[in-house]
Amino acid sequence: QTDCKPLLKKKDNLLRVVFQSAVKIGMQDSSKSKYILPGGIRVYTRKAQYQYGWDWSPRYVTCGIWKPVYLEAWNDIKIQNVTYYTDTVTSTKANLHLVAFATSDKYQECKIVLKDQYNGKILQEETIALAKGLNSIPLKFIINDPQLWWTNGIGNPNLYHFEFDINKGGKKICSDSCKVGIRTIELVQRPDSVGKSFYFKLNGVPVFMKGANYIPADNFIPRVSKNDYEKLINTAVDCNMNMLRVWGGGIYEDDNFYDLCDEKGILVWQDFMFACGMYPADTAFLNNVKNEATYQVNRLTNHPCIALWCGNNEISEGWYNWDWQKQYGYSANDSAKIWNNYTLLFDTLIKNVVNTFDAKTPYWPSSPKYGWGRKESLLEGDSHYWGVWWGMEPFSMYENKIGRFMSEYGFQAYPADETMKTYLDFKTSSAGDNMNPFWHNKHPQGFQTIDNYLLRDYYNATDHKNAVKHYTYLSQLLQANGITTAIEAHRRARPYCMGTLYWQFNDCWPGVSWSGMDYYGRWKALQYFVKKAYSDILVTVTEKNKTLETFVVSDVQKTTKAKLCIFLSDFNGKKIWQKDTLITIQPLSSSCCFTIPVASIIKDTSANNKLFFAARLYIADSLASQAVHYFVPYKLLKLPKANIKRSLKISDNKIELSLSSKTLAKNVYVSLDDKYLKLSDNYFDILPGDEVKIHSEEPISSKIKVRKIKLETFNSK
């Protein structure tokens, strides 16, 4: 934002560089205008918009420039950037080309050389002449038997390491090295009988996207270390995700973030950093955005993880659905001007930058295409469905409101008690106390909304003897069940729906929010549930018109043989009905394998609250996925008192815990001495007669005793 003029000063034998800055903020132009723009002052400053406060982040407007400032000197030739393109790919050959931009301080002849850094082999070399000034240098090359880049779950994220050199007289003058993935990506939007498809093809394969919306990992961005990024991306991988959306009110992420996504096969839906507001479009602002977009597109274009450039978050939705025109009292002229500014920014300027510098990656002007109240939002484009939470609709609506690509939907939950204890005194606070600012919930109706939904499926735990802890546990179950209802419905709807990204993956501070994983990386129940709901092959059960439908969904490319065991049981393990069948699961598919009317297996409906229906899918004799369906809201279940047997083994500072129960034990939460413990699974049901084996994923002290392991189970009131 500033116009920096370096001044060199010599003092104490040190050369000091002083940046004199004439502060120019975009405000200058708009101060002449009569209207206020939605978003207020923040839309004039090109810095992280969430720093002005969001419904999950505090307001830290004074956060400033956080990246290093440096001067770069060069002479002779400087490579500005090198962009790699995958042109065509077959299993035996990939045709690629690169375009290098290099500045030369004179006319001169030189040799360009492209090497494979892994084996040192020269892939291509040419003698060329550079003109004085900026030169564009194209170079074609071939990779035989290419190892393609694939996403997590589909294949290996293979990377090549290329080095592009400019040599003179046999000497290297300058060089640029880059890790590149050989892959093609397409966004397919084909008109069909309902609307238009919206899905990604990776190397020609339609891939169902499973992931979440990513926000900055801290209020104070320099605090995020490489290790933190690793923890975050490892969680995405661990939870069987293949896409993260870098949301437009945050930051263009650190190089480490994209490097890790490249290495681990996570595609990135990359928003430009504009969100929920209308932006000015005076010449200074446009020039500034042009520089910003050009810089970011050039910085990120070679990352195979970049699947999509998206102009903004919820601006077109805001303009058409949030009544801004009335709220801000715009005249017809004001409205025309403001919308014209929008189109200049997102339909012209940014789109042109992407087409110029990264034409191989699709561009999408705004997420979502239509607001969630409009029927078109379910027929084409991507969709943010907020009828649940903002619209107070029941979780079951997730099964009906399914668009072509669900890029946002979400529900809040409390973080782990240990996280809350870092900012809250449990003794003086009571659960659900939304007047207490120390609860760290930035959503104005956050607590009331959680409470409201809690009463539908569970009960309000504020009078529980251990209220905060119990409320936390229940709110996490509520969120986990709600969001997985959505995920499973989206996956069943494949290929109509081809992606699901819940809101939100992570947090920027410890607090109550929509995240599945809190600020300290502690998993809420949702994260454990997501890991299962995103598994490559999933069995899922839904009840529609009093009929139970068992679906099997596959995201793998090969045909799979499996055994499906379906049964109805009471909570003491008495099987009332069962059926085993052998099935063949088609690649990249979702199909309903079995339906049965509820009435044909449950004669006495008053016993519904003591029964569950389960589907278990075995692949090569091991349990690949399991679905459990209950017939009444959880609060109405007549659960027996669980008597869980445990056996504990500790080796190499790792816990191996085996839990079994003769009766149903619902949502078993395992903690260690009341401390949060990252486990291979948690909050799970132990079906009657089952043994569940879990292990710790973080080192623990070898002094742990069985009685230190605490178990909490859900018990209807």
Smallest separation (angstroms) from ligand BMA to the CB of 494: 24
Looking up tokens 């003794």 gives 427
**Which residues have a Cβ under 8 Å from the Cβ of 580 and sit 6 or more positions away?**
563, 564, 565, 566
Rounded to whole angstroms, what are the CA distances from 257 to 299, 301, 472? Answer: 13, 14, 30
Cβ atoms within 10 Å of 438's Cβ, excluding its own: 12
Cβ atoms within 10 Å of 218's Cβ, excluding its own: 17
Pick between residue 229 and residue 514 the one whose CB is nearest to ligand BMA: 514
Task: Find the residue with minimal CB distance to ligand BMA.
Answer: 55
Residues 476-495 that bind ligand BMA (CB under 6 A): none
Q: How many residues does the chain have?
A: 717
451: contact with ligand BMA by CB under 6 A: no
Closest CA to 362 of 405, 403, 402: 405
**Span of 52-60, 278-286, 352-360, 481-489 interacting with ligand BMA by CB under 6 A:** 52-60
Among 163, 165, 314, 685, binds ligand BMA (CB under 6 A): 314
**Could you give the dihedral angle defined by the CA atoms of residues 34, 38, 42 and 48, in that order, rounded to the nearest 10 degrees?**
-150
**Span of 48-56, 64-72, 128-136, 395-403 interacting with ligand BMA by CB under 6 A:** 48-56
Pick between residue 324 and residue 357 the one whose CB is nearest to ligand BMA: 324
Among 503, 529, 571, 684, binds ligand BMA (CB under 6 A): 503
Handedness of CA 555, 556, 560, 563 (dihedral sign): negative
**Span of 51-59, 116-124, 229-237, 482-490 interacting with ligand BMA by CB under 6 A:** 51-59
Smallest separation (angstroms) from ligand BMA to the CB of 483: 13
Smallest separation (angstroms) from ligand BMA to the CB of 216: 12
Pick between residue 247 and residue 684 the one whose CB is nearest to ligand BMA: 247
507: contact with ligand BMA by CB under 6 A: no
Distance CA 633, CA 631 (A): 7
Among 52, 54, 523, 631, binds ligand BMA (CB under 6 A): 54
Tokens found for residue 358: 């990264």
Pick between residue 55 and residue 176 the one whose CB is nearest to ligand BMA: 55
Handedness of CA 286, 289, 291, 297 (dihedral sign): negative
Q: What radius of gyration do the chain's Cα atoms show?
A: 28
382: contact with ligand BMA by CB under 6 A: no
Smallest separation (angstroms) from ligand BMA to the CB of 276: 5
313: contact with ligand BMA by CB under 6 A: yes
Among 139, 237, 276, 450, binds ligand BMA (CB under 6 A): 276
Rounded to whole angstroms, what are the CA distances from 369 to 249, 281, 379, 407, 502? Answer: 17, 22, 10, 10, 17
Tokens found for residue 336: 């025309």
Smallest separation (angstroms) from ligand BMA to the CB of 596: 38
Three-point CA angle 579, 681, 536, nearest 5°: 60
Closest CA to 181 of 319, 361, 340, 331: 361
55: contact with ligand BMA by CB under 6 A: yes
Tokens found for residue 119: 């084996």
Pick between residue 56 and residue 523 the one whose CB is nearest to ligand BMA: 56
Smallest separation (angstroms) from ligand BMA to the CB of 392: 14
**Strand, coil or helix: what is 50?**
helix
Pick between residue 313 and residue 682 the one whose CB is nearest to ligand BMA: 313
Tokens found for residue 181: 């993935």
Residues 396-425 that bind ligand BMA (CB under 6 A): 408
User: Could you report how far apart the first and last alpha carbons of the chain are, in Å?
Assistant: 58
Closest CA to 408 of 313, 321, 473: 313
Pick between residue 213 and residue 302 the one whose CB is nearest to ligand BMA: 213
Site string for ligand BMA, 218-257 (x = CB under 6 A): ----------------------------------------
Q: Site size for ligand BMA, by CB under 6 A?
A: 10
| Greatest CA separation for the chain | 93
Pick between residue 55 and residue 681 the one whose CB is nearest to ligand BMA: 55
Binding site for ligand BMA (CB under 6 A): 54-56, 276, 313-314, 384, 408, 503, 514
